[in-house]
Amino acid sequence: MRNVTLGKLVVGKNPILVATSIADSAQGMIDGATQVLEAGADCVELRIDRLSSDAEVAKVINRVAMPHIVACRTPEFGGFFEGLERERIERLEAAVCAGATAVDIEFFTEPDLRLRLVETARKEGVPVLIGYENMRQTPPKSDLIEGLLDVARLGPNLIKLAVRATSYVDLLTVLDTVLEARLLLDVPFAAIALGPYGAPSRPLACVMGASFTYCAAEKSAVPGQLTVSETRDLISTMSGQRWSCSSN
């Protein structure tokens, strides 16, 4: 598996913990990123859904020094952006051109718009994460593997699988997918089962071969979401290895 560099952070060696900052103002997001850093996360996901302009996006990018992945989610994918798809892609392109360390786009984005963002990112030398996501259910493992291979054919630098778990059977489906994906994918990937049934997937996927996972800077009301410290401790306990963000 190839390593990927986000700023000074190398993804693909030790497990990387990503925590999210989302707010309706640039300063709120900057403050959230500071909280993520203080919590000990390696990387911050900057969710720019609720920002009002490209200028605010650029302000956040210029002020957040730690490695970050910029995402802009619509309600369909658990976010808040309600503009046109073209406007969403333009918002993400603004982040890329402002110097983002990585940008996130969903596989199920309209293909022409998805390609437009990917080409902009490649032109600017910004790594691209493409996510294969289902916010309603966990498809069969064969469908998940096929979807991940479809994502891999697009040539992303990072891949994320995120599906909704409605039972522990779904959790096991995701973890079984991790075991196969680590043999099929040549780039770092994350695999998350959302919801309370999926909570164990966040640390376990990293123990079983995923390169990064998502957690919260502090206790969250989101069912199944673990804190940075909880996730780090669980991975360390289950893998028998201890590491810190500075070791990445």
Kindly state the tokens that stand for 33: 């990123």
Asked if residue 127 belongs to a domain, the reply is yes
Question: What is the predicted pLDDT for the residue at 245?
Answer: 52
Q: What is the pLDDT of residues 40-95, one digit of tens each?
A: 999 999 999 999 999 999 999 999 999 999 999 999 999 999 999 999 999 999 99
Q: What is the pLDDT of residue 147?
A: 98
**Which residues have C-beta within 8 Å of that of residue 119, sequence separation ≥ 6?**
none
List pLDDT tens digits, range 86-97: 999 999 999 999
Domain presence at residue 191: yes
- Residue 245 belongs to a domain: no
- Alpha-carbon distance 199 to 196, whole Å? 5
pTM above 0.85, yes or no: yes
Neighbouring CB atoms inside 10 A of 99's CB total 13
CB 121 within 8 A of CB 92: no
Residue 244 lies in a domain: no
Residue range(s) defining the domain that contains residue 151: 4-238
Domain-embedded: residue 243: no
pLDDT (tens digit, 9 = 90+) per residue, 115-174?
999 999 999 999 999 999 999 999 999 999 999 999 999 999 999 999 999 999 999 999
Give Cα separations from 248 to 28, 101, 170, 228 (angstroms): 27, 16, 31, 15
Q: Alpha helices, DSSP H only, in 153-247?
A: 168-184, 201-208, 228-239
Residue 157 lies in a domain: yes
Q: What is the CATH number of the domain that holds 189?
A: 3.20.20.70
Residue 34 domain-assigned? yes
Of 151, 139, 213, the residue nearest 176 (C-alpha): 139
Q: Tell me the pLDDT band of 240, cut-offs 50, 70 and 90.
A: confident
Assigned domain for 248 exists: no
Nearest to 7 by CA among 126, 121, 117: 126
How many domains are contained in the chain? 1
Q: Token pair of 242, please?
A: 């201890």
For residue 19, which of 234, 231, 243 has the smallest C-alpha distance?
231
